Amino acid sequence: MKHLVITLTALLLTAALCDAQTATPRVTKRQINQQQRIKEGVKSGELTKAEAAKLEAREAKIQHDKKMAKADGVVTPQERAKLNREENRASRAIYRQKHDAQKRK
């Protein structure tokens, strides 16, 4: 019985560590926030449908890159930095598009 408890505990700890190595909560939170910004921009008329489509495609690429980073079971610091840079660029693009002269008709 004692051996079974130790084995189960070891398995749970291993699973938790594996999940921690692939967790990207900051990227996920930023993606949700940026999706909301795009949605609000379309609703307010600050973004045209074409602008929103380009921004959505950019977010989809980041989602794909995040999935690829997690594919091997470990998200390295370099991969996290790349995802962060992509999110920074996407954020600036959303700002620029929302504040340009184009408005939805």
Res 26: pLDDT:
87
Q: What is the rounded CA–CA span in Å between residue 95 and residue 26?
A: 19
Mean pLDDT over 54-77 rounds to 93
pLDDT at 45 over 70: yes
Token couple for 53 = 């489509």
Burial class (CB in 10 A: 0-12, 13-18, 19+), 56: middle
DSSP H helical ranges for 1-105: 2-22, 25-44, 49-70, 77-98
Confidence of residue 58 (pLDDT cuts 50, 70, 90): very high
